[in-house]
Structure 1
């Protein structure tokens, strides 16, 4: 249940309104923008009369019930778009970010060459896996702490904010200087991890689970946001379907649907969706056309020798060519490839 306050109501009066319900055992949520203040109630709101509360509180413009289980990430609770600041870049409506880099950090020469190249081509953030959750226990699992240090070295030289995946809370201290913590598809419903990430202020890139519904996806974001961290970037990366010719099936409709339901920025990972480098460019173009706020692309200086996901990684030349097309299409959609 939410209550929208009348314009120019003093914050002290809103706080007093919240206390009325907190004293009755409800949890209250507060959202504000340039011209609105919203109070949300969490609990057994079926015992409350929305109309009666609206009529007896002069500061309330109107109230309504939120039937969806996700509350804080809901656009009904916060009508204005959320903008997530990451170093010199910002994720949100009207802007477009390109996150590029290898699936796995393999060695110093590899990550430094890739970082310099994607920076030159126009990427705005650098991705790289230091900890890799692999289906096979025999596959390359990443360089772990050394991989994080190499990413930080690349960040120092290029100025690109870095994105890397956290696979266990035991690794959290190593991510102190990582700009964006990625929660992978396998951990989307690791609720203990989500709760802990809600207590930090870092940007969280939350990937949709392999077979998760939109509602489940948003409920995972809700776990983070109820902890106090609203710096969440949603990432559609394809879901598992009956189709076997692609690695996953990109749910392109998820982008406008998520934007309708939530105020959080949404990006697309075309690499994991298709699983083939030939599909990365067309899926990227679709992401721009459908209104995504950015893309996450796997790139490698030698895909044929990559220790993970080489088949879906663009080489540096192909990435450079794609960036030219990305900038053109982003401008056509009246968005900005933003670094400020």
Structure 2
């Protein structure tokens, strides 16, 4: 790990707190909770989710408009029309937006609408994309590859940092294993290791790690107990009707219950849950789908 000169800790107490907005950050005392659907489907869907999650409260909304799928025949995301939805929801509810970038040519248009650009598991070692994101003035959420070692994960972050952008958030989302009971295996040992090795904030995505909604809340709590700086949770008004990742998606009431259950746990580990983000109170725009 000696080559990771920019993202490794220089001393025991070396940690980075990354600003998402002037009032919201990740890596500090407050846990950074991200919620939302795997894929943005419509303005009505995102309006319902944003209204509920702002009160939960979460600190950011997730939602993909370009989706990397194993099958070329699966839903690939709603595409560019989703940019207007991202902008409208952000303006109306005041919540930061996290969305996935899959290719270099998508960077500029996504950076104009999103607060954080996510690199998905499949692109963790897309080195040309990582280099390009090094010149972007936005935080980057880097997900661990589905079979990546901790060292490979750290070095992927180093690619971004070495090209100028040190605002990197790591996300453990499970790694592939021989066991098919869960979608992946959540590696909480890696969370502890990353907190010891790097100064970067570390999130955990128990939705992708488990693939089963009934396992999400217990592993979310375990992640906070292990020292994670926050969570990324897939939720939807009607999970069974979600276009993608329905089986691992929880409903909005379950999301609220999960956040409530985190409050005493956060206090026990010296953290806290953020306050409700004030709404912008702008009228809901009409966007033709």
Contact 1:165/1:183 (CA < 8 Å) preserved in 2?
yes
Contact 2:183/2:209 (CA < 8 Å) preserved in 1?
yes
Contact 2:97/2:115 (CA < 8 Å) preserved in 1?
yes
Contact 1:166/1:181 (CA < 8 Å) preserved in 2?
yes
Please name the residue that 2:174 is paired with.
238
Alignment match of 2:121 (pick from 166, 169, 185): 185
Shift of 1:332: 2.2
2-structure distance, mates of 1:73, 1:199? 16
Please name the residue that 2:29 is paired with.
94
Q: Which runs of no fewer than 5 residues in structure 2 stay unpaired? A: 278-289
Question: 1:134 and 2:69 equivalent?
Answer: yes
Q: Which runs of no fewer than 5 residues in structure 1 stay unpaired? A: 1-66
Looking at CA atoms only, which structure, 1 or 2, has the larger radius of gyration?
Answer: 1
Contact 1:78/1:263 (CA < 8 Å) preserved in 2?
no
- TM-score (norm: length of structure 2): 0.92
2-structure distance, mates of 1:190, 1:149? 27
Moved over 6 A (4+): none
Alignment match of 1:221 (pick from 138, 157, 161): 157
Alignment match of 2:18 (pick from 73, 84, 89): 84
Q: Which moved more, 1:249-258 or 1:140-149?
A: 140-149
Shift of 1:337: 2.2
Contact 2:182/2:210 (CA < 8 Å) preserved in 1?
yes
2-structure distance, mates of 1:302, 1:218? 36
CA 1:326–1:78: 2 relative to 1, 3 Å: closer
Q: Which has the higher contact order (CA 8 A, sep 6+)?
A: 2
Listed as ranges, the matches of 1:299-310 within 5 Å are 299-310=235-246
Contact 1:75/1:261 (CA < 8 Å) preserved in 2?
yes
2-structure distance, mates of 1:231, 1:121? 26
2-structure distance, mates of 1:326, 1:289? 10
Alignment match of 2:147 (pick from 197, 201, 211): 211
Please name the residue that 1:250 is paired with.
186
Pick the structure with more strand per residue.
1
- TM-score (norm: length of structure 1): 0.78
Contact 2:169/2:201 (CA < 8 Å) preserved in 1?
yes
Number of aligned residue pairs: 274
1-structure distance, mates of 2:270, 2:12? 24
CA deviations on 1:14-62 (whole Å, 9 max, x unpaired) are xxxxxxxxxxxxxxxxxxxxxxxxxxxxxxxxxxxxxxxxxxxxxxxxx
CA deviations on 1:3-22 (whole Å, 9 max, x unpaired) are xxxxxxxxxxxxxxxxxxxx
Please name the residue that 2:204 is paired with.
268
